[in-house]
Structure formats: C-alpha cells, structure tokens
Amino acid sequence: MEHIEVNIEEEHQSERIDKVIASVDPGWSRSQVQNWVKDGNVTVNGKQIKTNYKVSTGDVVSITIPDPSPLDVVPEEMDLDIVYEDHDVLVVNKPRGMVVHPAAGNYTGTLVNGLMAHCKDLSGINGVLRPGIVHRIDKDTTGLLMVAKNDMAHESLVNQLKAKTTKRKYKAIVHGVMPHVRGTIDAPIGRDKTDRQKMTVTDENSRDAVTHFNVLERYDGFTLVECQLETGRTHQIRVHMKYIGFPLAGDPKYGPKKTLDINGQALHAGVLGFQHPRRDTYMEFEAPLPKDMEALLDKLRRKMG
C-alpha cells in the first residue's frame, strides 16, 4: 500500500474531498476516490470523513492507496513493430495513439495487451498492469521502448536509467525559429498547481530534469530539433520546450491551438541505446520518423522553397 499526505491550500477551500483528491493524480477518478473514502482509506486531520466532506484551508488529508486487486490483462493480437528481441529484452517501435500500459478506464488496446499476446515471459516487477514495462512514452508520442522479459533484465535496465547511462534521443517539431544551435535545459519539473493534469517547471514538489537539444533544421515559423534526455520526467520534453518558448507542434496540452495538422505532439523517440543486461554489450537502435511527421517536414521544406 502507498500512503500520501496532502495539505489543503486556500485555492481548494470548501471543495468536496473527492474532487480535491482526484485532482492530485490524473490516473485517479472521483468514483475511485469515493470508494477509498467509503472504505476508510482517507482521513482528514486524523479522522475518517464522508464523501461529501468539504475541505478547509490547512486540512491534512491522508490517503492510503490500496494495492490493486488482481486484474487479468487480456492478451490481444496486434501487429507490433518489433525492432529487436531475444530471451531478455525486446525493443518495440510504438505508433501514435497507443497507450503503453492499462490504467483506470483503459484496459484494452494498450501496448501491454499486445506484448502479452506476443510473448508470455514478461518481467513481473512492475505489477499485473505493467508487466515488462521499464519506461514509457506518451500516448501520442511515437518511437522506441525497451521492454524487460524477465526480472533480471528489468532490474538492469531500470538501474541504467537511474544511472543515466541509457541513450534516448527524440526528434521534435517546435513552434518558432530557434536562434540557438544547441543548448541544455536544466529546470525541475513537478505537477502544475492550477491544472493537475499538467506538469510544469517549478521549485515546489519537483524533481530535477535535464534535456539537451540541438537544432537540425529551421523553417518558416518552426524548427526541427533533436532532444536527448538525461532524466526521464513525465512530459519532460514537452514541458521544457514550452518553458524556453518553443512548444511542440500539435501538442494539445502544452502547445498553441493554432498549429500544424497532426494528431498529437510532433515528437518521436528515434534513438534508444543501452547495455544488454546479460551480455553487457552496448546496443543501439534507431526508428525512422513516422509518416505523419515526415509529411509535415516535407510541407515545411516546400514552403521554404
């Protein structure tokens, strides 16, 4: 079980407890929170409350998140783009629009469903909902992911991520013509206080985040950049690019409404490198840009003449 404490600030004064708690994490629904309250997993100032309780500034809300009940994630036959596979690891090129692992209200059609149909021997370290998943990319981001097929491989890959020895390079189309040739964004990322569905650069309840970037091509009003992750925070590239004034094209959460014609952020995880968990040899993989991003670049290049 996981325990979380939330201190109620003035902005939430007199709001219902279930609404406030549901805003803490985008993966929590109000109905799920209401069940936690009814089951006694939520207290305010040490006392159990009802679902219609209205919070006051200064309240200390304690939440005990119960362990997920066993859930059979159903294997689904999918035409996965497997770039590499052996007994320990698998590298897959994820398409746009595919969620990586099941979550509340979204238990089918995910990459995990497809992986479970493809192979039966995924690492169980990440639990029943995320077998084999070492890291993830957003639903509308395309590109390469490494998947662990056993616990030894999982621990090795996670340790490499923590040690910052993996290579993860992305290509992104951003709004604006970047004057820089290259740069590093070193700015901590945490959850946005005004919109809990978003992340933002902040010093409060944040974690270090570092993104290196270099310019590949400039167009009329847009730039193609390559970003290399040193850390792997939620929405890191999307948040960092917005922070320096060059939000991703097509990004429905962090970008402008008037943008390029693409269904989701123009972001592709094109290069992935890591030490093989068993052989201890370095492996690097590259996936070409998806067709929709290539089409956008062709259009931008033609516009430049």
Task: List, by residue number, the catalytic residues.
Answer: 138
**What's the CA angle centered on 145, arms 226 and 104, to 5 degrees?**
115
What residues does 268 pair with on adjacent strands?
142, 171
Q: Which tokens hold the place of 125?
A: 């370290």
Measuring CA to CA, which residue among 224, 253, 222 is closest to residue 239? 253
Alpha helices of the chain — where are they, by DSSP H?
17-22, 30-38, 111-118, 151-162, 236-243, 291-304
CA distances from 81 to 131, 132, 159 (A): 18, 16, 26
Q: Report the chain's terminal Cα–Cα distance, integer Å.
A: 59
Question: Do the Cβ atoms of 225 and 174 come closer than 8 Å?
Answer: yes
Separation of alpha carbons 146 and 154, rounded Å = 10
CB atoms within 10 A of CB 16: 17
Q: Write the Ramachandran bin of 235: left for phi over 0, alpha for psi from -120 to 50, otherwise beta.
A: left
Q: Which tokens hold the place of 238?
A: 């999307």
Separation of alpha carbons 251 and 241, rounded Å = 11
Alpha helices of 23-69 — where are they, by DSSP H?
30-38
For residue 248, give the DSSP letter.
Answer: B
Rg (CA), the chain: 21
